[in-house]
Every structure is written in C-alpha cells, then in structure tokens.
Amino acid sequence: MDWSLYVVTDAKLSRGRSHLEVIRAAIAGGATVIQYREKEGTTRQLVEEAQALRELTRQMGVLFIVNDRVDVALAVDADGVHVGQDDMPAPIVRKLMGPGKIVGVSVDNLEQALQAEQDGADYLGAGPIFATPTKPDAAPPIGVDGLAEICRRVSIPVVAIGGLNAENAAEVIRAGAAGVAVVSAVVAAPDVEAAARRLWEVVDAARAIR
C-alpha cells in the first residue's frame, strides 16, 4: 500500500467546491489515499457523498478510508476506516469491518501507538506534528522527534499529520513516516492538483534519499 500522500476531505476548507471536484483533482496530482471526513449532515447525506468518492477512488485505484463512521464505511464498501482515541475501540472496529479491511488509529504519543499496534491497527495517523488550525482541539504537537520515536518503535506504517505542507513534509519522511496526511495544504489550495503534485514530489524526493 502506498501511504505517500493521504488527503483528508473538509467541506469548510474547500472554497465552495464539492468533495468530488476536490478529490478528483487531488488524485490527479498524486494523492494515494483519500479519507472522507465529515462531522455534519445526516447519515443519508454522508453515505451518498462517500458512495460518490468510493466510485471515484475505485476507478482511479486509490485507497478510500472513512473517518470514524464504521456504518458509512460498510455501507459504501470502503477500503477501511480511521478512528481516534475517543472513537470506537480498534478491536471492535476490526471485528465489525471484517477481514481484508484497513483499520487506522490516530495517536499522539508512543503509549497510544504501541497500544494501537497491539489492538490490530494496520497503520497509525501520528500527530499533530506541528500546530494546525484545522483541528484547534488537537493535542499538543509531538514534533518531528516524537514522530521519529513512534516510527522506530512500531512495525506498522505511520502517516504523519498536523500542520504539514510542501515546506516541511520532507522532515517527517526523513523521520520515518510512510507518508503525510494533509487537509488544508491540498483541499484549501486554489489549485488542488498543483498543490497535491508538489507535496507528492517532496515526499518522493525525501524518500529517495532517506
């Protein structure tokens, strides 16, 4: 699986563009994983939006993950689901999702990372690496050193998230991250495809000299 550029949706940051429009451009620019994250709207609305993204990602051969909502992930046959520390516990998510599906867990320290791996997570979303306006209630930044420690201690892929952009993405790849997860750096960009391509190029170059 290619975790290089993990793009998370955000309707409020998309400049009035639809999820489908933004994600189509992000994939054209090199996004390798798409996470549908939507905290508002009815379950029917979420399922309809996720279904459209599922069809697009399937056509383009890109992983599709649903944030938090196991029911929505199952409804649209997503590749997996991503949960946080206050969401449904990973072992229960694994049981509900069934074999062959991906379970990701957000962690902000080494203890959580080790527990998530023990609980059967397939990958970790570690952060925030830097302070981020996208999630003002996030835990304090763990920094590149905190990320590096997690990457050293677990054997599953670690995707870095939190305040990442083309200027600092190389640092987290050099620290051991399998990829970078971004929200505003791509979905809020005037030119989504160009922003995604720039990030992908930075990640690819950093990996080549790691």
Reported as a single tens digit per residue, the pLDDT across 69-115 is 999 999 999 999 999 999 999 999 999 999 899 999 999 999 999 99
In total, the chain counts a number of residues equal to 210
**Domain CATH for 9:** 3.20.20.70
Q: Are 199 and 31 a contacting pair, CB within 8 Å?
A: no
Q: Are 143 and 175 a contacting pair, CB within 8 Å?
A: no
pLDDT at 139: 80
Residue 136, pLDDT > 70, answer: no
Q: Which of 17, 135, 174, 207 is catalytic?
A: 135
pLDDT (tens digit per residue) in 144-178:
999 999 999 999 999 999 999 999 999 999 999 99
The structural domain count of the chain equals 1
From the list 83, 118, 87, 122, the residue with the least C-alpha distance to 102 is 122
From the list 138, 98, 91, 152, the residue with the least C-alpha distance to 116 is 91
Specify the pTM. Answer: 0.96
Q: Is 39 a catalytic residue?
A: no
Q: Is 4 a catalytic residue?
A: no
Q: Give the percent of the chain with pLDDT over 70.
A: 98
Q: Is 184 a catalytic residue?
A: no
Q: What is the CA radius of gyration of the chain?
A: 16
Residue numbers of the domain that contains 128: 5-208
| Rounded CA separation 188/184 (Å) | 5
- pLDDT band (50, 70, 90) for residue 134: low
Residue 199, pLDDT > 70, answer: yes
Residue 121, pLDDT > 70, answer: yes
**Average pLDDT over the chain, rounded to an integer:** 96
Q: Which of 4, 14, 106, 184 is catalytic?
A: 106
